[in-house]
Amino acid sequence: MSLFDASPIAAVTNRKAPLAERMRPRSLDEYVGQEHLLAPGKPLRLAIENDDATSMIFWGPPGTGKTTLAKIIAQRTQSSFIEFSAVLSGIKEIKQVMADAEKASHMGSRTILFVDEIHRFNKAQQDAFLPYVERGTIRLIGATTENPSFEIIAALLSRCRVYTLAALTEGQIVSLLERALADTERGLGDLRIAADGDALSTIASYSSGDARNALNALEAATRLVRGRNEHVLTKDIAAEALQRRVLLYDKQGEQHYDIISALHKSVRNSDADAALYWLGRMLEAGEDPMYVARRVVRMAVEDIGLAAPEALNLCLSAKDAMHFLGHPEGELALAQAVIYLALAPKSNSVYMAHNSVRRDIETTAAEPVPLHLRNAPTRLMKELEYGKGYQYAHDIEGRVADMECLPPSLKGRQYYKPTNEGREKLLSQRMDEIARIKSEKRN
């Protein structure tokens, strides 16, 4: 570990070094992604340009450039750079590094301490940073894939600014791959290998927004191309390099709609095995899991409804779990939701009722609210008989009044017609009871 690393982002030209390391961005101009933080006028960009000495935490998924960003900041601010791994270091190493940094501080040198996977440090280890951060001996930059609110002690977190980094989009990954193929100094440009758009898109779709994974996959794919004395990286070779079969699936075309239709109809037909298969086909082919989550939520309200009202909460929880855990762990939550939906009692009564209401709204006159249902906050409104005849249900035996609440032209209309499935059987019985109470009062 070198305290005085004169060039934390010096170009790596050793051809034996991994491509991802050789292609590490050397400046903000080369850095791809995180426009919400680094575009002109955005908070992190301004902090870097203004040489803000505040310590910070970078929170985001793997391969989004947390380490690279820390090195760029060290170069821009002319600071010594120490890279520290929470996996390999303990209290003894922390104290030694802090002592060295304090000596450097007395000689006028600024030190940035970059701690990778800072969430792996326990409370005592994190406490060891506090006095040095407070005195300004070091500028701490921590990187974590976990929520800092839960993994970083409050005292340290309060002294740091948290920046949330997002997974790179497929388009951004493709641009990085194209740059690596063209770069003759650090990349693969000397190999003169061309790649079709499908090949790079395939690698990007499997990288899950991780630039490091994508570049490693590209390097493996180009080795296959060279080994076969070919000069074009195709989709099939990319899939072989990924060691995963590329499923026939076009996220913008017919396959996209056919497979989500198969998933929905399998759930509707209570076929849990088929539903799991079609879910797996979509996710393995690189479909956006949040799109799948939205469709699963729709199934809960369209095909399950009030027969099992807890299904909606389960699906919303699965959506949140997918967002929180990411790929591939979060996919288990979607699988759990799909199995539950397939096995749950089915009812489209809410769906049909809503459609009936929409048809009546479109085809009937927009009648005024009946007078007895109107609010009457002023004397004039009361004189105009607003609220006259209204019956307060809580003051009436059975808590049900024989009072029409629909416009006159729709009097007696029944939109919601529950089935005898699941919880709806109880709702049907309750509706019968309400109708009986109204009838008795009417008679």
Domains located in the chain, CATH noted: 19-164 (3.40.50.300), 170-242 (1.10.8.60), 254-343 (1.20.272.10), 369-442 (1.10.3710)
pLDDT of residue 255: 66
Handedness of CA 148, 150, 152, 155 (dihedral sign): positive
Q: What is the average pLDDT across 238-242?
A: 83
pLDDT of residue 1: 40
pLDDT at 3 over 50: no
**DSSP secondary structure string for all residues of 219-233:** HHHHHHHHHTT--EE
Instruction: Tell me how far CA of residue 197 lies from CA of 167, 204, 286, in angstroms.
Output: 21, 10, 16
CA distance 148 to 315: 26
Give 307-360 pLDDT, tens digit per residue.
999 999 999 999 999 989 888 889 999 999 999 999 999 999 999 999 999 999
Query: CB-based contacts of 223: which residues, under 8 Å, 6+ apart?
Result: 241
Q: What is the average pLDDT across 386-413?
A: 91
Give 256-273 pLDDT, tens digit per residue.
778 899 999 999 999 999
Percent of the chain residues topping a pLDDT of 90: 36
